[in-house]
Structures are given as structure tokens and as C-alpha cells.
Structure 1
Amino acid sequence: MPVSIVWFKTDLRLHDNEALIKAIQHSSSVIPVYCINPNEFTETKFGFKKTGKYRAKFLLESLKDLDTQLREYRSGLVVVQGKPEEELPRVARLYNAKNVYAKKEVTTDEKKEEERVVAALWKQGCLVETFSTSTLYHAEDLPFPLRGIPDVFTTFRKKIEKEAGIRPVFNKPETIPSPIIPDMELPTLEALGLENPEPDSRAVMDFKGGETEGLKRLKEYIFETRAIENYKETRNGMVGKNYSSKFSAWLAMGCLSPREVYHEIKKYEAEYGANKSTYWMIFELLWRDYFRFMMKKHREKLFLKQGIKKQAPEDQTHNAEALQKWVNGKTGQNFIDANMRELKLTGFMSNRGRQNVASYLCHDLHVDWRYGAAYFEETLIDYDASSNWGNWAYVAGVGNDPRENRHFNPQKQADDYDPKNEYRDLWLKEEVKQ
């Protein structure tokens, strides 16, 4: 059997990783590789970096954890820096690899990168095989063709819940046959052109990257604290660790598999009983699937100002001054400002906050929604391209929202979700509490 490369991307885990399992099954030797692409740390046309300090730190921690786990199998992670279409062929030549196994991409830039890698490897007789590893429901199990995926979530949800099943997870491998892998060399944040994030004691939690930490959080939220029992009632909270699962950062980096989350919820239901909250957690995972399938269906349209609609919002323009006030939490609307300061200082914001600040930028400040999406791309520790751009298009009125003019009233939202000013008092203090 040939030597194969496993090209890790946003699937930084050993559990439920089909690409890794298939590589082991069909190879005499496996070389785990991660490529740090300098393009991921450059500035976009919107003036924000593609990857900021919070997610970069989480990424480096995740790579370190993956390497540590691979070492337990007498393997290891080869980390290279450069364009994947140049670095992966170089690694393939070095180890005489004939196959590359990797996660399948759906977003525009990642898909183009994947195509460049396939073409470069083909020239030296190395084949690439990709697998869908990011969703709860496998793409092949959908009860409709790609072009027929409903553009309304409720229609999608009802049909998929009725007609599709969720596959079992792939267990962690028993062995990983690898040659001697040199010690991993990771760049520093400074080498990537980023600052080290300053800790803030007000943060909802300390997000640490890696599968080990992701599985630890999964167990803590579902079984140790049993916070999932009241998830539907608390999910719109804004202060504290357990008002929501906080799985998103590990899901986005692929340190957690959505199917692993699902099957752990099912174990909980078998032991303690199902309720609206356990269902609602799965419901939220389905939203995540939906945006990924929408990205697969509509592709680059979800990055355009008009989104999947035929016309862009006429009232949304680029207003640099308004955008900067929004970014810095200086709009004068205290609920919006509190949320934006939390994001800037921690890399995280609640789902309730995200909907409000997005609505405010689009419909109150009338700023082109793509600038907000680009800022989130840089700053969010749990940035996921499909969910981020899909959600922003949704709020801006150019995405999958069947309603028109979905405009949040931030004062009413503050009265409903922060009635005692607890959240605003926490984040509107000027000093950063270390």
C-alpha cells in the first residue's frame, strides 16, 4: 500500500475524522500535515485581517494538542508554512506519498485553494481524496439534490428531520503507522504579525484550543453541570459560562465533531430523558449545517453585497466613521457598545449580541453589511465562514430570511435580555480588569 498524507485543515481532531481513518486503512504509512498559509493572515479588501489574534492563538493551541495526541501513537504533526499548492507537493516528494486525504471544502477561497492543490499534486502522480467531515447530516444523505435544497430553514429542517438519518461517529484510530516525524515547529503569534491577546477577567470563559479541551467542555456542559437541561431557557443569556454551550470555537476549528456532540446528547437523553432543551441543541447544530449547505449551493453569491437576492440594499454604503465607532463600541447605544467591547476584548459575543450588532450596523447605521462580516471574520474566536457570512446576509436582508426588514430594536432587546443592566454595567466600564 502507498504512503499517504493526511492534510488537516479545520478538522483538528482524531475522533470522527473520516479522512484520517480512510488514510490509515489504505496506506502503509501516514504523514499528518498542517499548512499555515500566510494568505490567511493578510488584510482583506474590507480593511480587516482574515485571521486575528484570538483565533490564531486558538489555532496554535489546537495544533499543539493535535501533535501531542499524535505523538501518543508514535506519529506527529508536520507543520509547514507557505502556499498549500507548493508545500504539500514538497512534503509528498519528501516522503514519496502517492495519496492525500483531506476534508472537503465548500466556501469560495477554500475551494479554489483545494483545486490548486489537486492540480499541483496531480502533476507528480499524487491523488487527492476528500471527505465531508464538518456537518451533522452527511451531504450524501440529504433528501434533496444540492440545487433543490430549500432556501427557507424551516422547510429544510422539517424535511431533513423526517427523511434523513445521522451517521455514527468514526472512533479514534487504534494505530497510526508513521515514519519518524520530526518535532513540530510552530510560529509565534508575533511571527504571524499578531499581538498576544490580553486576558480579561470579564470573559465568559477561557477558550483554549484543541480536541482535548473541546471534549472536556462537551463533557462538562452536558454531564458534569447538566447545563444542557435548561439550554432553551438560558441560551439568550449574556453573562457567564453556562448560559450556552460555547462549543462553537471547537466546532469551527474542527476540534469537536457535530456528530460527536449529537451522540453525546443522545446518551444524556437515554440517561436523564429528552426535553425541549436537548432537542434545541440539536436544532442549533442543524442551523450550522444549513448555512454550510447554503454556501455549497450559492457559493460566491453569499459574499456579494446583494447576497442571494437580485438587488443589493440601496441604503447600505461604506461609512468608515460609522463603522469605526461600531467596531470600538462608541456608537452611543449602550447595548450595542457593550457587545462590541466584549467582542473586541475577548473575541467572543453571545448569539443575542451578534444579531443585535449586525442589525444595528445594517439598519441603523446603514453600513454595507460585508464590512461587519469581515470584522467578525478577523475578531471572532469561533469564526466559521459559512455560518458567519450566511448569518450576516440573513440579517442584512439579502440571505435566507423569508421575512423582510428584520430590524432589531436594541433598547427593547436590552430591556428583554439585560433588564438589570448586569451585562452593560460589566462591559461599559472603561478599564480592562485583568
Structure 2
Amino acid sequence: MRRSIVWFKTDLRLHDNETLVKAIAKSDEIIPVYCFDEAQFKVTEYGFKKTGSFRAQFLLESVADLDKNLRELGSGLIILKGKPEVEIPKIVQEYKAYKVFAKREVAHEEKQTEAIVQAELFKLRCEFETLSTSTLYHAEDLPFSIKDIPDVFTNFRKKTEKDAVIRTVFQKPLRIKSPKIAEINLPTLNDLGLGKIAIDSRAVLHFKGGETEGLQRIQHYFFETKSISKYKETRNGMIGADYSSKFSAWLAMGCLSPREIYFELKKYETQYEANESTYWLVFELLWRDYFRFMMKKYRTKFFQLAGIQNKGIKVNKHNIQVLQSWIAGATGVDFVDANMIELKLTGFMSNRGRQNVTSYLCNDLKLDWRYGAAYFEQQLIDYDVCSNWGNWAYLAGVGNDPRGNRYFNIEKQAQDYDKNEAYRNLWLNVID
């Protein structure tokens, strides 16, 4: 009996999941597991939790949905809690598994965890195979090696679009053979050391975790509302569910794959229309790929003050009061404050808002940009390590921006994107 473990991480889906498909093909039985890694719920050196309540709630919903979908195919999900390097080997021994399949990581801490787990499995003579499942373009299909990827996005995009092909998606398995798996036992937010979240009625969308919800969101945004056809014009909006795709949270947790979105988009283009807006979504997915490949290329440099450019930047001495006023939305700059209050109360903020509050922290307050990135890490429902740290480094002038310092004139931005002050009024007025 060749049994293998499928270790789910940020790939919480059955569609287009090469890890799962390969494991099924190479095994008589598979045992799907998810480990709530205690390291993901600790406080970082910047004083923020690695995972806050909004994302943890989304994660719990995503894991529950994955279990439900697995059970429909004759399997289920085993929940582990603790250190993966301790818990995964225990399961391997219990089920006498010959191999563990998992998604391949690129960021520093995740790579370290992967290496420690692999070393522990080696002691048990258990193989460990990782597969790349997070990007639109597969790293092996790029027209350059990782070390030669251009440091300017436009150069990367043009050559990739011209010379690389997007692989087709892996079909969802029809049936999964597993030993009997007991009912799921999920931790609560409290078990994870987190407080309960309240749903704010002003939130742009009630993000609910899971592949089922993610697929519904694609249907809604593409086929039911056809909002995708005007995405380029509306994407800088700040109020409402459909000014942008809002796929980011499901992408970050791996409930959706970028390729799946791409091929649904192609279907939409065939059925309705292809225009600049439909292309622009692919453009944004390419940025997401780019940050992931950059993280692979530069590793820990994305977490250093000088960034990938090794650039000495002047920052003020760390001032906890100034940082807290930014977090609380109490800077006195209404456009910044409205955005920060939205983030604090909902775990989400528009792309336009993110650029402005980041520029304000880096250029006006002149604080160490990594405190801002770490607060976003705690707070964002759609936090993705590569996109978050890549974007912060970019706007701090130490990342992939060829222009260097990207200063946003906040007053002008507010005038351009919130002319009638509807957004500021929404978030700055206290609700009873």
C-alpha cells in the first residue's frame, strides 16, 4: 500500500492543484492534512501578529470548505496544530506514508520551514516532493532563469508575454481514495490567540473563505455582472464590491489559482468581448507573478530596510506614537485616516488607498517602511508575502521601481479619487 500525505498550505483548492493530482497518480491512498503552524500566529519583531483575526477567520472558512469538498470525493482533511516539522512526521509514521507532497515556497521563512520538515522526513526515509502551484506562468517556462529576471517589470512583462505560454489547468479529481478520516476539528479564533471579528456594514464585500466562494466570485464578476469589461476604468474605485475583482483574498489563500481565473477570462472574452479591461486583469496577475519570482531571486533582501537595491534611505528614529496614529487613522490627513480606519475595521483597503497610506508613512512620516509592511501583514485579509513586501519595497523606493522614490500628493489624490468626499464621509463618520 503506497500511501502519501498531501500537505495543504496556501493552496486550499481541488481545481488546478498539481500537488494533489500528482499525489493521487503516484499513490494507492492519500491523506490530506492542514497544519495550523504556531509560528504563523506569533508576534513579529515589529510588534504585530503575523496573522490577525480577519485573515485567520478567512483561513478557517477556507479550510472548512476544503474539508467539505474533499469529503464529497471520499476523503477529508486531518487538522494538525503546532510545528509542521513535528506534526507532519508524526502523521507520516502513523500512516506509514512513503512520501509527502506539498506546494513549493519561495519566501525566506516559508523556505526555512520547508527545509526543516524535509530534514525530519529524511530521517524517516520519507520522500518530500514540492510543486509550483501559485503563478500564472510556471517558473520553468519563463524566457529567462530566475537570476536573470529583469529588475524592471515592463521588461519582464513584454518578454514573458511574447515568449512564454500559460499551461492548462489541472482538472479537479473525480474521486480520492483515502483511509477513513475522522470529522474535522477546527480551532477557534480564540484557540489561535485571536479576538472575534465584527462585520462592519460599510465593508466593500463580506469576504468568505473557500474555493466554493472564490469560484462564485469569478462567476459574479465575469458572467453575472460583466464588471470585468469596465475593470480598467473602475479599478481605482474605493466604495462597493465591484469596482475591482476582489479575487486577491482567494488567490492569497490559494482557494483560486491564477490560471483558473485566466482561462475563465478567456471563456468570457470568447463569449462576450475582449478589451483593454479584460487584458488589464491579466496584467495585474502578471505583477503578482513578478513579485513571487523577485522574492525567489532576492530572498531576504525584500525584508531589509535597504531592499533589493541596497539603497541607504533616511528614516526618522522609530516613534511608536507616530506609528500608532497612522494605524488608528488619527494622522489628521483625512484621506489617509479614512483608508486606515477601513483597514482596521474590515481587513481590506483599495489598491489606491494602499498606495497613498504607504507613501504617507514612507515619505511624509519618514518611518521605517517595514513597520507598515508588518502591520499590513497582520491586518490584511488578502495578505500575500511576495506581493505585500514587494509592493512596500517598491513604494519605499528600495524595490523594483526604476523611478526610485514614488511620492503621492495626498491632497491631489483625494481630489482625483474621492472628489465628492463620499469615501471619507463613509469612514470618518462614527457609526452609533
**Pairwise same-fold verdict (TM > 0.5):** yes
Equivalence for 1:358: 358
Distance in 2 (CA, whole Å) between partners of 1:170 and 1:180 is: 26
- Map of 2:399 onto structure 1: 399
Shift of 1:177: 0.6
Contact 1:54–1:380 at 8 Å: present in 2 too?
yes
1:8 alignment partner in structure 2: 8
Distance 1:316 1:265, change over 3 A: farther
Match of 1:192, SS state, is: coil
Gaps spanning 5+ residues in structure 2: where? none
Match of 1:300 in 2: 300
Q: In the alignment, what sits opposite 1:68?
A: 68
* Per-residue Cα deviation, 1:360-383 (whole angstroms, up to 9, x for no partner): 000000110000000000000000
- Does the 8 Å contact 2:398/2:404 carry over to 1? no
Give the letter for the 1:389 counterpart: W
Tell me if the contact between 1:316 and 1:362 (Cα under 8 Å) persists in the aligned partners. Answer: no
Give the 5 Å matches for 1:189-208.
189-208=189-208
Matched AA of 1:74: G
Number of the residue aligned with 1:94: 94
Show the counterpart of 1:236.
236
1:316–1:369 contact (8 Å) kept in structure 2: no
Q: What TM-score do the two structures reach when normalised by structure 2? A: 0.99
- 1:128-165 CA deviation, whole Å, 9 max, x = no partner? 10110000000000000111000000000000000001
| 1:204-223 to 2 correspondences below 5 Å | 204-223=204-223
2 CA distance for matches of 1:265 and 1:380?
A: 26
Query: What TM-score do you get using the length of structure 1 for normalisation?
Result: 0.99
Supply the distance in 2 between the matched residues of 1:276 and 1:254 (Cα, whole angstroms).
26
Question: For residues 8 and 352 of structure 1, what CA distance do their matches in structure 2 show?
Answer: 32
User: Offset of 1:313 from its aligned partner?
Assistant: 1.0
Alignment of 1:111-122 (within 5 A): 111-122=111-122
- For 1:146, the equivalent position in structure 2 comes to 146
Say if 2:23 is the partner of 1:23: yes
Give me the whole-angstrom Cα distance separating, in 2, the residues matched to 1:97 and 1:106. 25
Given that 2:314 and 2:366 are in contact with CA atoms closer than 8 Å, whether structure 1 keeps it comes out as no
Q: Quick one: structure 1 residues 316 and 308, their matched pair in 2 at CA, closer, same or farther if it must change by over 3 Å?
A: farther
1:147-166 map, 5 Å: 147-166=147-166
Structure 1 position 325 matched with structure 2 position 330: no
Instruction: Look up the SS of the partner of 1:190 in the other structure.
Output: coil
For residue 57 of structure 1, what is the aligned residue in structure 2? 57
Please tell me whether the aligned partners of residues 18 and 133 of structure 1 are also in contact (alpha carbons under 8 angstroms): yes
Count of matched residue pairs: 432
Q: How much has 1:312 moved relative to structure 2?
A: 3.0
Q: Shift of the alpha carbon at 1:311?
A: 2.6
Counterpart amino acid of residue 243 in structure 2: Y
Judge conservation of contact 1:106–1:296 (CA < 8 Å) in 2: yes
Report sequence identity in percent.
Answer: 64
Aligned-pair distance for 1:404?
Answer: 2.2
**Alignment match, 1:340:** 340
Q: List structure 1 segments (4+ residues) > 4 angstroms apart after TM superposition.
A: none
AA at the equivalent of 1:366: K
Distance in 1 separating the partners of 2:84 and 2:104:
15
Q: Hey, what's the Cα distance between the residues in 2 that align with 1:388 and 1:370?
A: 10
Give the whole-Å Cα distance in 1 for the aligned partners of 2:108 and 2:19. 21
Shift of 1:316: 4.5
Distance 1:4 1:216 in 2: 31
Counterpart amino acid of residue 218 in structure 1: I
The Cα shift of 1:430 comes to 2.2
Distance 2:303 2:317 in 1: 16
- 1:196 CA displacement: 1.1
Q: Counterparts of 1:254-293 in structure 2 under 5 Å? A: 254-293=254-293
- For 2:129, give the aligned amino acid: E
Deviation of 1:2 (Å): 1.4
Quick one: which amino acid aligns to residue 352 of structure 1?
R
- Return the alpha-carbon distance in structure 1 between the equivalents of residues 419 and 285 of structure 2: 29
What is the letter of the counterpart of residue 425 of structure 1? N
Matched-pair contact (CA < 8 Å) for 2:229–2:273: no
**Is the CA contact (8 Å cut-off) linking 1:108 and 1:300 kept in structure 2?**
yes
Instruction: Give me the whole-angstrom Cα distance separating, in 2, the residues matched to 1:357 and 1:414.
Output: 12
Range with greater deviation from structure 2 (212-221 or 311-320): 311-320
**Corresponding residue of 2:127:** 127
Per the alignment, residue 224 of structure 1 pairs with: 224
Q: Which residue of 2 aligns with 1:412?
A: 412
CA distance in 1, matches of 2:249, 2:405: 30
Aligned residues: CA RMSD:
0.8
The aligned runs of 1:362-377 (5 Å cut-off) are: 362-377=362-377
How far apart, CA to CA, are the structure 2 residues paired with 1:159 and 1:372? 33
Query: Residues of 1 paired with 2:149 and 2:209: CA distance?
Result: 33
Q: Are the aligned partners of 1:136 and 1:286 in contact in 2 as well (CA < 8 Å)?
A: yes
Distance in structure 2 (CA, Å) of the matches to 1:304 and 1:356: 22
* C-alpha deviation, 1:310, in angstroms: 2.0
Distance 1:23 1:295 in 2: 27
